[in-house]
């Protein structure tokens, strides 16, 4: 049996089913109980499971993350919600100095089965610090897994895998496409493995790598460029930023000989740069053209009047594909 769900509904269903499945699972965060969360991901769960398992917290992100670490150390499986990714900055010390290091620090004696969920990215006309796409901060932190779904099916399956993972997982939810489309999602409990990319569309001329809210942009560009120029694209959804599915990336580049990376993050020292480095390390001799990055810009994400000029568009991706194909 399946249901037509959008991403936010799929996340709610995953949380509901894991709360029912394992009494060690609990949720905590600002306004997640009575109000059901800033985007309503936890709507109705307080009434179903009670305040001991769906806990409203003070407006204090460092305290939320610190409490999550303490709960995980003492046998619980906490899932924290941070309202927007940039709001996690006050809790970075807890994430980087403690959550990510506990397994290594204790020589494997202690693990931290915990998830931090947070919306991320631009495209919703948010004010300052509501549109950040700084996933590279966290991908560079050993001990932390970073997951980014782009579809309702993957959102549910990846969140269940994250909750069942023995180590801390940062679960980044692309705000722009929370409610942009629905697809069939199984009603049953299922998992999508962390660390495995997905080939969304197969082609032979060029590889396009994207994640999160950039996936619809990448797919749209690939379809239009095939109709207009006849070039076919491998389109790959990374789904997990760390650990990367290196085999999938390299296999695709060896097949096509060309690659474009699409990201809304700032260009410098980004995941896009990491992918270029990986391809150069392991598939340089297969390349017919330099790897192209289509990115946000190296400025703070602008407010709503200029947001569309900051975000990669289908037209920008098509131009990048053409530049690479005609090199």
Residues 212-237: pLDDT tens digits? 999 999 999 999 999 999 999 999 99
Using a pLDDT cut of 90, give the percent of the chain over it: 94
Task: Tell whether the model's pLDDT for residue 74 goes beyond 90.
Answer: yes
In the structure, what pLDDT confidence band is assigned to residue 125 with cuts at 50, 70 and 90? Answer: confident
Task: Tell whether the model's pLDDT for residue 280 goes beyond 90.
Answer: yes
Task: Tell whether the model's pLDDT for residue 128 goes beyond 90.
Answer: no
Q: What is the pLDDT of residue 189?
A: 97
Separation CA 326–CA 290 (nearest Å): 11
Contacts of 20 (CB under 8 A, 6+ apart): none
Q: What is the pLDDT of residue 86?
A: 93
Helix/strand/coil for 320? helix
Task: Tell whether the model's pLDDT for residue 304 goes beyond 90.
Answer: no
- Of 69-78, 131-140, 194-203, the least confident: 131-140
Contact at 8 Å (CB) between 24 and 76?
A: yes
Q: Is the pTM value of this prediction over 0.85?
A: yes
Mean pLDDT of 42-58: 97
Task: Tell whether the model's pLDDT for residue 8 goes beyond 90.
Answer: yes
Q: pLDDT tens, 85-118?
A: 999 999 999 999 999 999 999 999 999 999 999 9
Supply the Cα-derived Rg of the chain in whole angstroms: 20
Task: Tell whether the model's pLDDT for residue 12 goes beyond 90.
Answer: yes
In the structure, what pLDDT confidence band is assigned to residue 52 with cuts at 50, 70 and 90? Answer: very high
Mean pLDDT of 10-26: 98
Separation CA 309–CA 97 (nearest Å): 36
Q: What is the pLDDT of residue 68?
A: 98
What phi, psi does 54 have (nearest 5°)? -130, 90
Roughly how many angstroms between the first and final C-alpha of the chain, as a whole number?
Answer: 48
Contacts of 36 (CB under 8 A, 6+ apart): 42, 43, 44, 45, 46
Using a pLDDT cut of 70, give the percent of the chain over it: 100
Contact at 8 Å (CB) between 172 and 123?
A: no
Angle, vertex CA 276, rays to CA 273 and CA 280, nearest 5: 140
Q: Are strands 292-294 and 240-242 parallel, antiparallel or unpaired?
A: unpaired
Contact at 8 Å (CB) between 156 and 9?
A: no
Catalytic amino acids?
Answer: 130
Q: What is the pLDDT of residue 129?
A: 86
Contact at 8 Å (CB) between 203 and 233?
A: yes
């Amino acid at each position: 049996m399946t249901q037509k769900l959008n991403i936010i509904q799929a996340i709610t269903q995953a949380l509901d089913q894991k709360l029912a499945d394992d009494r060690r699972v609990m949720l905590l965060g600002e306004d997640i109980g009575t109000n059901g969360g800033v985007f309503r991901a936890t709507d109705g769960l307080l009434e179903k499971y009670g305040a001991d398992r769906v806990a409203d917290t003070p407006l204090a992100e460092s305290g939320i993350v610190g409490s999550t670490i303490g709960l995980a150390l003492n046998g619980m499986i906490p899932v924290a919600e941070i309202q927007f990714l940039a709001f996690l900055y006050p809790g970075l010390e807890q994430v980087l100095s403690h959550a990510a290091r506990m397994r290594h620090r204790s020589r494997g004696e202690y693990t931290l089965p915990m998830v931090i969920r947070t919306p991320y990215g631009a495209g919703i006309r948010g004010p300052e610090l509501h549109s950040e796409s700084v996933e590279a901060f966290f991908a560079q932190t050993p001990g932390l897994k970073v997951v980014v779904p782009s579809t309702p099916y993957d959102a549910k399956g990846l969140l269940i895998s994250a909750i069942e993972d023995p180590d801390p997982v940062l679960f980044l939810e692309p705000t722009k496409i929370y409610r942009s489309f629905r697809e069939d999602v199984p009603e049953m409990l299922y998992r999508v493995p962390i660390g495995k990319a997905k080939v969304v569309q197969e082609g032979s001329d060029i590889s396009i790598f994207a994640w999160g809210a950039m996936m619809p942009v990448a797919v749209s560009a690939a379809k239009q460029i095939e109709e207009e120029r006849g070039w076919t694209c491998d389109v790959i959804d990374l789904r997990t930023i760390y650990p990367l599915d290196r085999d999938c990336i390299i296999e695709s580049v060896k097949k096509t000989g060309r690659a474009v990376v699409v990201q809304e993050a700032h260009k410098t020292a980004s995941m896009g740069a990491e992918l270029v480095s990986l391809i150069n390390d392991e598939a340089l001799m297969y390349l017919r053209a330099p790897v192209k990055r289509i990115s946000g810009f190296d400025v703070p994400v602008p407010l709503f009047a200029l947001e569309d000029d900051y975000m990669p568009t289908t037209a920008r991706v098509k131009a990048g594909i053409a530049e690479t194909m005609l090199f």
